[in-house]
Chain A
């Protein structure tokens, strides 16, 4: 029955090669798969050694995917207005089936992602992998690190509880002191900066963390920042391949 199905046009149109263990099929397994073709067909053996890579970049990407999926599920239950946000959180934690699990996964994966991004950067530095020809990809990586922190920070406000509002208040208070652009920063007042027209006002949509801030952070967290991050990730992965794959020592053969 299965054998008969494997001979149909439908099956052959989906799986374009047999599973028999041959060099050719192993290669096709990678290049014929849209998800796996990020990879080259063959890599140097040290690339599969977790002691070299720590696997932190890959884990970061996995966590990003987990965050996207759990985040979309959470969006079904959450309204980003001061009136409903906290109630929706209570509803999610108490009445939605698997609500706490989804929210916990989202929060802990977010924390873990900040951690793995930092460790990924540490590893890339210690192996000197930013050196030519990979300089630009390091720059893209730094931008992704910043985006990860911004994503995490903007998500921190959304539960709209005491923890959220005061952590974001502390964080965004810094913007007051921006030189030239903040109303308490050096040369800010001289340039006409006031609490209601400086850079912090733009960030918060008000003079303090309030309902407009919630909406701003929500849109940033769910749409703007993930799209930017996804674009930079595409560049990051593509450049890994274009810059010669995973970094490694010059070997006599190559030199």
Chain B
């Protein structure tokens, strides 16, 4: 437990403790505001639309915020020294080696995905996906006030992505991943000699299929390759299938094919991310062999 407290209070980890509390606080805060707005049927802000002079009403808020932030920052900087470790040494690799805290969610994904997905494709999709949000969300409601009722899908998906896939994974990557990137519960000692006994298998090798990924001579088993391809492409074809079923609805017509394609691709990727994580975690909890790859090809593995 003492070691966990030490990691928790490492100067560089303080921001994550802030992150934890502020994210929980602001989520709760926004939630109560949305509830209130939804319950009374009109946003609180609509009753505050009379104009006030920026000087002094806004400037004084900014001034007070500035003083508060500077005070916190100066006290923080006086009491806690930024870390300065031993000089850089390429021949001495620390275990675990961790990226800066804001990238630890992505580093955590390396457990579940190959680097080309976790380190390149997913970050790119996050950035592109974020930029696409205003153009794919055609719901005109909820512009300029807190609400949940009027945009459930948008709020749920974004909150899930931000709170679980970004913040929670950062938290796990920082506090619960020890030497060898092994998982340690709070209070467990980070044992550098701990070896996790894991026999990862591929999806096609799972019961009841039991199709080996590799043939006895080491080459790729075509049956496994085809099964993997069917799984991945089949999963992404859920988007077109859903479209075929509902293409004549008013909403679909308003959304248009390009917008729908973007939404369904990004949404399925996010769900797929979760599916892949669960394919690893659920068998582990059941005492079975966790799944490493869904689709093994000669060029890349998914």
Assembly CA distance A195 to B69 (angstroms): 45
- On whether the beta carbons of A138 and B144 are closer than 8 Å, the reply is no
- On whether the beta carbons of B88 and A115 are closer than 8 Å, the reply is no
Closest A residue by C-beta to B76: A108
Instruction: Tell whether A48 pairs with B92 under 8 Å between CB atoms, given A112-B15, A119-B22, A253-B49.
Output: no
Q: List the A side residues contacting B33 at CB < 8 Å.
A: 51
Assembly CA distance A89 to B86 (angstroms): 11
**Cβ-defined partner of B58 (8 Å) among A43, A108, A175:** A43
- Which residues of B94-112 have CB atoms within 8 Å of chain A's CB atoms? 94, 97-103, 106-107
B235-271 near A? 1/0 per residue, CB < 8 Å: 0000000000000000000000000000000000000
Closest A residue by C-beta to B56: A26
Asked whether any CB of chain A lies closer than 8 Å to the CB of B43, the reply is: yes
Q: List the B side residues contacting A90 at CB < 8 Å.
A: 84
Asked whether any CB of chain B lies closer than 8 Å to the CB of A50, the reply is: yes
Assembly CA distance A104 to B119 (angstroms): 30
Closest B residue by C-beta to A130: B134
Asked whether any CB of chain A lies closer than 8 Å to the CB of B18, the reply is: yes
- On whether the beta carbons of B114 and A177 are closer than 8 Å, the reply is yes
- On whether the beta carbons of A114 and B55 are closer than 8 Å, the reply is no
Q: List the B side residues contacting A176 at CB < 8 Å.
A: 115
- Which residues of B46-84 have CB atoms within 8 Å of chain A's CB atoms? 46, 48-59, 61-62, 65-66, 69-70, 73-74, 76-78, 80-84
- On whether the beta carbons of A179 and B78 are closer than 8 Å, the reply is no
Assembly CA distance A156 to B145 (angstroms): 37
Assembly CA distance A253 to B50 (angstroms): 10
Q: How far is the CB of B31 from chain A (nearest CB, A)?
A: 9
Asked whether any CB of chain B lies closer than 8 Å to the CB of A217, the reply is: no
Asked whether any CB of chain B lies closer than 8 Å to the CB of A127, the reply is: yes
Assembly CA distance A139 to B134 (angstroms): 8
Q: List the B side residues contacting A192 at CB < 8 Å.
A: none
Assembly CA distance A51 to B139 (angstroms): 24
B98-138 near A? 1/0 per residue, CB < 8 Å: 11111100110000001110111100000100110111010
A103-141 near B? 1/0 per residue, CB < 8 Å: 111111101101100110111011111111011101100
Q: List the A side residues contacting B44 at CB < 8 Å.
A: 46
- On whether the beta carbons of A174 and B119 are closer than 8 Å, the reply is yes
A21-35 near B? 1/0 per residue, CB < 8 Å: 001001101100000
Assembly CA distance A114 to B29 (angstroms): 21
Instruction: Tell whether A146 pairs with B45 under 8 Å between CB atoms, given A26-B56, A160-B88, A163-B85.
Output: no
**Cβ-defined partner of A93 (8 Å) among B53, B81, B143:** B81
**Cβ-defined partner of B49 (8 Å) among A45, A86, A105, A118:** A45
Asked whether any CB of chain B lies closer than 8 Å to the CB of A97, the reply is: no
Closest B residue by C-beta to A253: B49
**Tally of contacts, chain A with chain B, CB under 8 A:** 284
Asked whether any CB of chain A lies closer than 8 Å to the CB of B285, the reply is: no
Q: How far is the CB of A135 from chain B (nearest CB, A)?
A: 3
Q: How far is the CB of B220 from chain A (nearest CB, A)?
A: 15
Q: List the A side residues contacting B103 at CB < 8 Å.
A: 149, 153, 171
| Cβ contacts A to B, 19 pairs, < 8 Å | A27-B53, A30-B59, A43-B54, A44-B45, A45-B49, A86-B87, A90-B84, A105-B73, A109-B73, A122-B162, A131-B134, A131-B140, A131-B143, A143-B131, A164-B88, A165-B88, A167-B100, A248-B145, A250-B46
7 nearest A-B residue pairs (beta carbon): A174-B119, A135-B134, A177-B115, A104-B77, A186-B300, A111-B15, A46-B48
**Residue ranges of A at the interface with B (Cβ–Cβ < 8 Å):** 23, 26-27, 29-30, 36, 39-52, 54-55, 58-59, 62-63, 66, 82, 86, 89-90, 93, 100-101, 103-109, 111-112, 114-115, 118-119, 121-123, 125-132, 134-136, 138-139, 142-143, 145-146, 149, 152-153, 156, 159-167, 169-171, 173-179, 182, 184-187, 190, 208-210, 247-251, 253-254
